[in-house]
Chain A
Amino acid sequence: MKNGLDIISSPWDLDEKTKELLLLQEVNNLLNSGSKLEVILETIAKGLTTIFGYNVSAIHLLNESKTHLVCKSYSAESNLVKKVEKLTKISVLNWKIRLFTGSMLTQLIKTKEPIITTDIVNLVKSHSDIPALSKLAGSIARFSGIKFGIGVPLLAEDKIVGVIGIGSKERLLEKDVEILLNFSKQAGLAVERAKIFEILEDTVQERTKALKESNEFLDSVFNSITDTIFIRDLNYKIIKANRVSEQTFRENLVGKCCYKVIMQRSEPCIDCDIDYTIEKKEAQTQEVYDDNLKEHLLISTYPIFHEDGSLNAVVKSIKIITEEKRTEEQMIRADKLASIGRLAAGFAHEINNPLTNISLYAQILHHKARGENRQMLDIVKSQTDVAGRIVKNFLKYSYPHSENYGPIQLNETLLKVLDFLKSQFRQGNVNLECDLDPKLRKIRGDGSHLEQVFVNILTNALHSIDKEGHLKIRTSNNGGQIKVAISDTGCGIPKEHLSKIFDPFFTTKEVGKGTGLGLFISYGIIQKHNGTIRVKSDIDKGTSFIMQFPNLEDYER
Chain B
Amino acid sequence: MKDKILIVDDDPLICEGLTYVLKDKYDVVTASSGRGALLKAETEKFSVVLTDLVMPGVDGKHVLREIKRSYPQTQVIMITAHATVDNAIEAMKEGASDYICKPFDIKNVQKSIVRALKEAAFERIDYNLEQKLDNETIKVSISKDSILKTLSNPIRREAMEFLVSGDYSFTEILTQLDIDDPTKLSFHLRILKSVKFVKQDDYKIYSLSDQGKEIAKLLSFLSQMSDSKDAN
The residues of A with any CB-CB pair to B shorter than 8 Å are 345, 348-349, 352-353, 355-361, 363-364, 384-385, 388, 391-392, 395-396, 398-404
Contact = CB atoms under 8 A, between A and B. Distances in A.
Contact of A360 (B14, B83, B89, B183): B14
A352 B102 contact: yes
A188 B221 CA distance: 128
A356 B102 contact: yes
Contact of A357 (B17, B84, B105): B17
B128 interface: no
B13 interface: yes
Nearest to B170: A448
Interface string B181-223: 0010011001000000000000000000000000000000000
Nearest to A387: B103
A301 to B, nearest CB: 53
A452 to B, nearest CB: 13
A359 B186 contact: no
Most buried by B among A345, A352, A360, A384: A360
B83 A345 contact: yes
B85 interface: yes
B150 to A, nearest CB: 18
Contacts of B37: none
Contacts of B187: 403
Given A357-B13, A360-B106, A398-B83, 14 more contacts: A352-B83, A355-B103, A357-B14, A357-B17, A360-B18, A360-B21, A360-B103, A361-B13, A361-B17, A396-B82, A401-B85, A402-B86, A403-B183, A403-B190
Contacts of B86: 399-403
A357 B186 contact: no
- Please name the 5 residue pairs, one residue from A and one from B, whose CB atoms are nearest each other, closest first: A359-B103, A356-B103, A356-B102, A360-B17, A395-B82
A399 B186 contact: no
Contacts of B83: 345, 348-349, 352, 395, 398-399
Most buried by B among A345, A396, A401, A403: A403
Interface in B4-39: 11, 13-14, 17-18, 20-21
Contacts of A355: 102-103
Most buried by B among A352, A398, A402: A352
Contacts of A349: 81, 83
Interface of B: 11, 13-14, 17-18, 20-21, 81-86, 89, 101-106, 183, 186-187, 190
9 contacts: A357-B13, A357-B17, A360-B21, A360-B103, A363-B21, A392-B82, A399-B86, A400-B86, A403-B187
Contacts of A385: 103
A404 B170 CA distance: 13
A396 B86 CA distance: 10
B11 A353 contact: yes
A361 B86 CA distance: 27
B81 A352 contact: yes
Contacts of B85: 396, 399, 401
A360 B18 CA distance: 8
A219 B50 CA distance: 78
Contacts of A403: 86, 89, 183, 186-187, 190
Contacts of B183: 401, 403
Contacts of A399: 83-86
B105 A352 contact: no
Nearest to B105: A363
Main secondary structure on chain A at its contact with chain B? helix
Given A363-B105, A388-B103, A353 B81 contact: yes
Most buried by A among B85, B101, B103: B103
A394 to B, nearest CB: 9
A360 B11 CA distance: 13
A162 B82 CA distance: 104
Contact of A363 (B13, B82, B106): B106
A345 B17 CA distance: 26
A359 B104 contact: yes
Contacts of A400: 86
Nearest to B190: A403
A103 B211 CA distance: 116
B23 to A, nearest CB: 11
Contacts of A360: 13-14, 17-18, 21, 103-104, 106
B17 A384 contact: no
A353 B84 CA distance: 13
Contact of A404 (B13, B82, B186): B186
Contacts of A348: 83
Contacts of B13: 357, 360-361
Contacts of A359: 103-104
Given A356-B102, A357-B11, A404-B186, A364 B82 contact: no
Contacts of A353: 11, 81, 102
A400 B11 CA distance: 26
Contact of B14 (A356, A384, A395, A398): A356
Nearest to A363: B106
B85 to A, nearest CB: 7
B20 A364 contact: yes
A364 B21 contact: yes
Nearest to A401: B86
A392 to B, nearest CB: 5
Given A395-B82, A401-B85, A364 B17 contact: yes
A402 B17 CA distance: 34
A349 to B, nearest CB: 6
Contacts of B81: 349, 352-353, 395
A359 B187 CA distance: 27
Contacts of B105: 363
Contacts of B17: 357, 360-361, 364
Contacts of A388: 103
B211 to A, nearest CB: 23
A193 to B, nearest CB: 94
Contacts of A401: 85-86, 183
A398 B86 CA distance: 12
A400 B105 CA distance: 25
A179 to B, nearest CB: 114
A359 B81 CA distance: 14
A402 B187 CA distance: 12
B106 to A, nearest CB: 5
Contacts of A402: 86
A162 B14 CA distance: 117
A404 B17 CA distance: 35
A227 B20 CA distance: 75
A352 B103 contact: yes
A348 B102 CA distance: 12
Given A359-B103, A403-B89, A404-B186, A352 B82 contact: yes
Most buried by A among B18, B81, B183, B190: B81
B191 to A, nearest CB: 12
A359 B13 CA distance: 11
